[in-house]
Structure 1
């Protein structure tokens, strides 16, 4: 399956898994200044999308046939890059890299955007050097590795969550703070989360393969 990578301008991937995804991607859409880091890794962007406030003018000239300038300031460059992918109908198997690290407010904002993106691209993932984030829009069974660390975040208040195959069963837990369903552990090759419709869940799996 072909992969579309959106490379944000956070910490450039260093771990084996995200670097392999980047190297094998069919297309790489860079958020603004991320293009400079990508070129240093001897990879070429398919497109460079954003308000271009962090793209060096000389690099902008070199990549002029790939630059997509979106000057509006109502959304960030990651959102602009995602919309660009949707316009191109690259909606399947999108992986976001480089969205964490550096400024913590950018990291939190980028992670939270996954819930909005998943409404259009349900299988979208955000992969970091430590693991991967994904959104569950409906009750789901998720592949895992026995012993894998799992953290779960309810994105809507008053969301009761039932689980199977987790070391610490949730048993209808209604999280009232982000930390309350974190640092769990898979006990089998998959686990199931059951929760109400229209109550999306964000999960983090450590050490994704």
Structure 2
């Protein structure tokens, strides 16, 4: 059975072109990362925060001309229009051998982009990445099969099924079943310091942590 611990130490961090994070947990990911890649549209805000990424990856359509010139040595252009910049950044990292990847700044500003970025987590898992997406309120983690989660008692948990069969849980306030719509698995709660999700197939879990510091 796979396990998901509260603490996650990524090998690299991707900074998306959504709202720049303000809460402690995603900022901690940025400030302790050993390697950081900005999607090109995110680089302007990242640089404005006083940080410099190791790489800027994307198609180059949303990075300021000034920063394109100033940081030309760390830009890796990818003109592929069949993938978004977040996926370009993840692909770049995986080609360099990184597997444990945190994504921050991928939600907000555009709801359609937010949904697309979140759903792509399932693709990255299929590619072999161990990936989490951090927001200012918690984190998303894609999973497959039986998994044990270690958390804090009382945290809210939402489960989004992607065709999962035989879905059931232990240590949650409300029972799981084979959901037919995303909303049906939202707003559950951990009754202790761990819970288990069982099922055949893939699912996405969001653990809400608004007060984490």
**Is TM-score (shorter-chain normalized) higher than 0.5?**
yes
Aligned equivalent of 1:62: 70
Q: Does 1:101 align with 2:104?
A: no
How far apart are the structure 2 equivalents of 1:32 and 1:10? 12
Residue 53 of structure 1 is matched in structure 2 by: 61
- TM-score, normalised to structure 1, is 0.93
Instruction: Give deviations 1:71-98, integer Å, cap 9, x for gaps.
Output: 110110011001000111011x210000
How far did 1:159 drift?
2.5
Pairwise CA RMSD: 1.3
Report the alpha carbon displacement of residue 2 of structure 1 after superposing the two structures with TM.
5.3
**Higher strand proportion (structure 1 or 2):** 2
Distance in 2 separating the partners of 1:43 and 1:205: 28
The answer to whether the aligner puts 1:125 opposite 2:96 as a matched pair is: no
Moved over 6 A (4+): none
The one of the two structures with greater contact order (alpha-carbon pairs below 8 A, sep at least 6) is 2
How far apart are 1:120 and its partner, in Å? 3.0
Query: 1:182 aligns to what?
Result: 186
- Distance across 1 between alignment mates of 2:107 and 2:93: 20
Give the Cα–Cα distance (whole angstroms) in 2 for the partners of residues 120 and 190 of structure 1.
27
Q: 1:195 is matched with which residue: 182, 195, 199? A: 199
2:12 paired residue number: 4
Number of aligned residue pairs: give it.
203
Matches within 5 A, 1:1-209: 1=9, 3-91=11-99, 93-156=100-163, 159-170=165-176, 173-196=177-200, 199-207=201-209, 209=212
> 5+ residue gaps in structure 1?
none
Q: Is the 8 A contact 1:139 1:194 kept in 2?
A: yes
Q: TM-score, normalised by structure 2?
A: 0.92
Q: CA deviation at 1:122?
A: 4.4
Deviation at 1:155, TM superposition (A): 1.2
Report the Cα offset of residue 18 of structure 1.
0.6
Q: Any idea what the Cα deviations from partners look like across 1:3-44, whole Å, max 9, x if unmatched?
A: 311000100010011111111111110001211111111111
Asked if the contact 2:10/2:101 (under 8 Å) is kept, the reply is no
